[in-house]
C-alpha cells in the first residue's frame, strides 16, 4: 500500500514538472537537487552583488581595471586547485563539489562579518554589537548618506586600509563564487542528466568511463592540453572569451553611468539591488516557462546566438541614451536572456564531449578563458574611455564589432554542436580532435 502511494505521489510530481520542462523519470531526483543547488548559489550571488558593485565604486572608478586584473591573477591560482580537487582518484566528484560549496558558504559568513566591521560608523564587532546589529546597520546608512563622496574621486586614499582590503577581497571572492561554483555544478549536472539527443545509457558508455584521473599538481595544464587538441573546444573557448569581453565591457559602462548619476552609496546600492530583484523574478519565470521550450523548439544555435544579438541592441541603446534608466533596462534584458536562454544552451555544448573534457577542459574554459576576457575588456575600456574623454556613449559603439564577431562564432559553434550530436558516441571524440 505504501509503495503504491509513493508511486502515485511520484507520478503526480512528474506530471506537475512536465508543465515546465521535459524530464525523464529517472532524472526527477537529480532535477530537484540541481535546482535547489542553483537556487542557493544564485541567491547568495545576487545578495552580495550590490555590495560588490558599490564597494568597487567606492574605491574609485579608476581602480576597476586593476580589480579585474586581480581577478585574473587569483583565478590563475584558484583554477588549478579546483581542477585538482576534481581529479583526485580517491575523492568522488560528488564529494568534491560538496567541499567547494561548503568553502564558499563559510567564506560568505566571514565576509558578512568583515563588511559590517569595516563599514563607516559600525561598532566593534563584539557580542553586544551583534545583538544590536539592526541599529548598527541603520547608523551605517545614515553615516554613508552624510559622507557620500563624488564618484569621480579616486576614493582609494579617502578610506582606511581595512575598508579597502575588505572591498577588494569581496570583489575578488565574488568573481570566484560566480565562476567556480556555477561551472563545477553545471559540469556535475551535465554528467548526471541524459541528453535528449543521446541514448539513455550514455553515462555507461566506454568513452565516458575513461576518466581514471591521477592526481596532478598542474592539472590545469591537462585542461589546456585538451582544449588545444580539439577544434571544437577551441571554438567554445573563443565563444566564451568574446562573451566575457562584451559582458565586462557592459559592466564598466553600467557602473560608470550609475556612479555619475548617484553620489550616495546607499542610493547606488539600492539601485543595484532593485535591478537585481527584477532580474531574479524574470529569470525565475523564464526558466520555468521558456527555457525548455526554446531549447527544444529552436535548438542550441538560437540559444547561444540570442546573447550577442541582445548585446548589440544594448550597446546601441546606451550610445543613444546613456542614462541609469537605460542601463537598468539593458542590464535586465541582458541577464534574463543570458540565464534563461544562452547559459543553458551553452552548457549543452558540452554534451558532445568526453567526461575528461567536461571536468577539466570545461572548468579551464569557464574560469581561465572568462577571466582573460574580463581582463581584455578592462584594458579595452580604459583605453577607449581615456581616448574618448570619458564618453560612455561613444565607447559603446566601439564594442559593436566584437558583438558581430561573437554572433558569427555562436552561429558556427551551434552548427558544429548539432552536427556532433548526430554522430555515434564512438565518433564524437574523433570529430572534436584536430585533422
272 vs 261: CA distance, rounded Å:
13
59-63, 198-202, 281-285, 299-303: which range is least confident on average? Answer: 198-202
Residue 130, pLDDT score: 41
Is residue 122 predicted with pLDDT exceeding 70? Answer: no
User: Which bin fits 160, alpha (ψ -120 to 50), beta or left (φ > 0)?
Assistant: beta
More confident residue, 205 or 94: 94
- Model confidence band, residue 422 (pLDDT cutoffs 50, 70, 90): confident
Q: What is the pLDDT of residue 312?
A: 93
Encode pLDDT of 360-384 as tens digits. 777 677 767 877 888 888 777 777 7
Work out the pLDDT band at 206, boundaries 50, 70, 90. very low
Which comes out higher in pLDDT, residue 216 or 47? 47
At residue 337, the pLDDT reads 93
More confident residue, 93 or 40: 40
Residue 204 pLDDT exceeds 80? no
pLDDT of residue 249: 84
Closest to 361 (Cα-Cα) out of 220, 176, 157? 220
Mind listing the pLDDT tens digit for each residue in 9-45? Answer: 556 666 666 666 666 666 677 777 777 888 888 788 8
Neighbouring CB atoms inside 10 A of 260's CB total 17
Asked whether the predicted pLDDT for residue 140 surpasses 50, the reply is: no
- The C-alpha cell at 135 is 541599529
Instruction: List pLDDT tens digits, range 305-361.
Output: 999 999 999 989 888 888 889 999 999 999 999 989 998 888 888 888 877 777 677
Instruction: Give residue 387's pLDDT.
Output: 72
Domain borders along the chain are 33-431
**The pLDDT of residue 342:** 92
Mean pLDDT, to the nearest integer, of 396-418? 89
Cα–Cα distance, 236 to 405 (Å, whole number): 13
- Determine the pLDDT at residue 379: 79
| pLDDT for the residue numbered 267 | 87
More confident residue, 16 or 246: 246
Residues ≥6 apart with Cβ < 8 Å to 286: 336, 339, 340, 341
Which of 28-37, 176-185, 186-195, 278-287 shows the lowest mean pLDDT across its residues?
Answer: 186-195
Report the distance separating Cα 277 and Cα 332, nearest Å.
10
CA 231, CA 229: separation in Å to the nearest integer? 7
pLDDT at 158 over 60: yes
Strands (E), 267-391: none
Averaged pLDDT, 179-184: 76
Q: What share of the chain is helix, strand, coil (3-state, %, to 5)?
A: 80, 0, 20
What's the mean pLDDT when you consider all of the chain?
A: 75
Find out whether 295 and 352 touch, Cβ atoms under 8 Å: no
DSSP-assigned letter for residue 349: G
pLDDT at 149 over 70: no
Q: Name the CATH code of domain 33-431 (choices 1.10.357.10, 1.20.1250.20, 1.10.3720.10, 1.10.10.10).
A: 1.20.1250.20
Sign, Cα dihedral of 134, 140, 145, 149: negative
How many Å apart are CA 221 and CA 76, to the nearest integer?
11
Q: Where residue 69 falls among pLDDT bands split at 50, 70, 90?
A: confident
Helix count and strand count (H, E) for the chain: 21, 0
CA distance 217 to 418: 35
Amino acid at each position: 500500500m505504501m509503495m503504491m502511494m509513493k508511486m502515485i505521489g511520484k507520478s503526480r510530481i512528474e506530471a506537475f514538472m512536465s508543465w515546465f520542462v521535459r524530464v525523464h523519470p529517472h532524472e526527477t531526483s537529480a532535477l530537484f537537487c540541481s535546482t535547489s543547488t542553483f537556487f542557493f548559489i544564485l541567491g547568495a550571488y545576487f545578495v552580495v552583488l550590490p555590495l560588490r558593485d558599490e564597494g568597487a565604486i567606492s574605491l574609485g572608478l579608476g581602480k576597476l581595471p586593476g580589480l579585474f586584473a586581480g581577478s585574473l591573477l587569483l583565478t590563475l591560482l584558484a583554477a588549478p586547485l579546483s581542477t585538482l580537487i576534481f581529479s583526485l582518484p580517491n575523492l568522488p566528484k560528488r564529494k568534491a563539489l560538496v567541499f567547494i560549496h561548503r568553502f564558499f558558504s563559510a567564506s560568505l559568513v566571514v565576509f558578512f562579518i568583515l563588511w559590517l566591521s569595516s563599514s563607516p560608523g559600525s561598532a566593534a564587532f563584539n557580542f553586544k554589537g551583534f545583538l544590536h546589529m539592526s541599529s548598527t546597520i541603520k547608523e551605517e546608512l545614515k553615516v554613508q548618506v552624510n559622507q557620500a563622496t563624488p564618484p569621480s574621486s579616486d576614493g582609494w586614499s579617502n578610506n582606511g586600509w581595512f575598508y579597502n582590503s575588505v572591498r577588494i577581497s569581496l570583489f575578488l571572492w565574488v568573481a570566484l563564487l560566480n565562476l567556480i561554483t556555477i561551472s563545477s555544478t553545471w559540469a556535475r549536472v551535465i554528467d548526471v542528466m541524459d541528453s535528449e539527443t543521446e541514448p539513455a545509457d550514455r553515462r555507461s558508455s566506454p568513452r565516458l568511463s575513461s576518466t581514471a584521473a591521477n592526481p596532478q599538481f598542474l592539472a590545469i595544464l591537462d585542461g589546456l592540453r585538451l582544449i588545444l587538441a580539439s577544434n571544437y573546444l577551441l571554438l567554445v573557448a573563443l565563444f566564451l572569451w568574446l562573451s566575457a569581453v562584451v559582458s565586462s565591457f557592459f559592466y564598466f559602462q553600467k557602473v560608470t553611468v550609475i556612479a555619475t548619476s548617484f553620489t550616495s552609496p546607499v542610493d547606488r546600492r539600492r539601485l543595484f539591488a532593485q535591478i537585481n530583484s527584477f532580474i531574479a523574478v524574470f529569470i525565475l519565470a523564464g526558466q520555468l516557462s521558456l527555457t525548455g521550450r526554446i531549447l527544444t523548439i529552436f535548438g542550441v544555435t538560437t540559444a547561444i546566438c540570442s546573447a550577442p544579438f541582445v548585446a548589440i541592441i544594448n550597446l546601441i541603446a546606451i550610445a543613444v541614451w546613456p542614462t541609469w534608466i537605460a542601463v537598468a533596462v539593458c542590464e535586465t534584458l541582458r541577464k534574463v536572456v543570458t540565464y534563461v536562454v544562452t547559459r543553458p544552451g551553452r552548457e549543452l555544448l558540452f554534451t558532445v564531449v568526453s567526461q575528461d573534457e567536461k571536468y577539466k577542459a570545461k572548468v579551464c574554459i569557464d574560469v581561465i578563458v572568462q577571466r582573460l576576457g574580463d581582463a581584455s575588456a578592462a584594458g579595452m575600456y580604459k583605453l577607449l574611455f581615456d581616448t574618448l574623454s570619458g564618453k560612455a556613449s561613444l565607447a559603446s559603439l566601439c564594442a559593436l564589432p566584437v558583438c558581430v564577431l561573437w554572433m558569427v562564432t555562436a552561429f558556427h559553434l551551434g552548427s558544429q554542436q548539432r552536427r556532433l550530436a548526430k554522430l555515434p558516441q564512438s565518433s564524437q571524440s574523433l570529430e572534436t580532435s584536430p585533422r
